Amino acid sequence: MIRKGMFLSNRYEILEKVGSGGMSDVYKAKCHKLNRFVAIKVLKSEFSEDKNFVTKFRAEAQNAAGLAHPNIVSVYDVGVDRGMYYIVMELIEGITLKQYIARKKRLSVKEAVSISIQVAQGIECAHNNNIIHRDIKPQNVIISRDGKVKVADFGIARATSVNTHTTNAMGSVHYISPEQASNGKVDEKSDIYSLGITMFEMLTGHVPFDGDSTVTIALQHIQKQVPRLSEELPNIPLSVEKIVLKCTQNVPERRYLKISSLIMDLKRALLNPDDDFVKLDEEQKNDTVIVSKEDQITIKNAAGKEEKLRASEDADSEKSPFDDEEPPSTLEKVLMVLGIGIVLLFLGVAIAMIPKIFLDGGENNRNLEIETTTLDPTLAIVPNLYELSEEDARTALHNNALGIKYQYDYDDNVEKGFVCAQSEEANAIIEKNSTITVTISNGAERILLPSDIDGKDVEAATLELNNVGFEVEVVYTYSSSNIGTVLSHDPDGKVELSKGTVITLTVSRGKEANTEGISLATVPSVAGKSRSNAESALKNAGFRIGEVKEVYSEVAQAGTVIRMTVKPGVRLPYGSKVGMVVSLGSENPETETFEEVTSAEEVTTVEETSAQATYSASYTFSLEDMLDANGEHLTSGAIAIYVDGKKVSVDPAYSRLETWPGDYTYTVIENYSGTANLQLYVNNAVIVDTQIELK
| Active-site residue set | 135
CB 133 within 8 Å of CB 126: yes
CA-nearest of 672, 668, 632, 626 to 647 is: 668
Q: How many CB atoms lie within 10 A of CB 264?
A: 15
| Sequence-separated (6 or more) residues with CB below 8 Å from residue 692 | 617, 619, 668, 675, 676, 678
Angstrom distance (rounded) from CA 20 to CA 18: 7
Strands 75-81 and 131-132: unpaired
Backbone phi and psi for residue 140, each to the nearest 5 degrees, phi listed first: -105, 15
Q: Work out the angle at residue 184's Cα, subtended by the Cα atoms of residues 180 and 186, and round it to the nearest 5 degrees.
A: 65
Angstrom distance (rounded) from CA 363 to CA 367: 10
Q: Map 509-534 to HEC letters.
A: CCCCECCCCCEEEECCCCCCCEHHHH
Q: Read out DSSP for 558-620?
A: TTBEEEESS-TT-EEETT-EEEEEEE---S-TTPPPHHHH--TTT---HHHHHHH--EEEEEE
Q: Check residue 362 and give left, alpha or beta (phi > 0: left; psi -120 to 50: alpha).
A: left
Angstrom distance (rounded) from CA 80 to CA 78: 7
**CA 668 to the chain's CA centroid:** 60
Backbone phi and psi for residue 137, each to the nearest 5 degrees, phi listed first: -165, 160
Angstrom distance (rounded) from CA 224 to CA 479: 72
The amino acid that residue 401 corresponds to is: A
Q: How many CA atoms lie within 13 A of 306 on its CB side?
A: 24
User: What are the CA-CA distances from residue 692 to residues 494, 612, 674 (Å)?
Assistant: 61, 21, 8
Q: How far apart are the first and last CA of the chain?
A: 73
Task: Write the DSSP symbol of residue 485.
Answer: B
3 state DSSP class of 453: coil
CA-nearest of 339, 356, 336 to 347 is: 339
Angstrom distance (rounded) from CA 323 to CA 313: 10
Partners of residue 24 on adjacent β-strands: 43
CA-nearest of 362, 498, 502, 385 to 437 is: 385
Angstrom distance (rounded) from CA 541 to CA 517: 19
User: What are the CA-CA distances from residue 61 to residues 1, 67, 75, 79, 171 (Å)?
Assistant: 22, 10, 7, 10, 18
Angstrom distance (rounded) from CA 158 to CA 64: 10
- Helix H or strand E encompassing 134: none
CB 363 within 8 Å of CB 247: no
3 state DSSP class of 5: coil
User: What are the CA-CA distances from residue 476 to residues 452, 561, 575 (Å)?
Assistant: 19, 37, 18
Helix %, strand %, coil % for the chain, to 5? Answer: 30, 25, 45
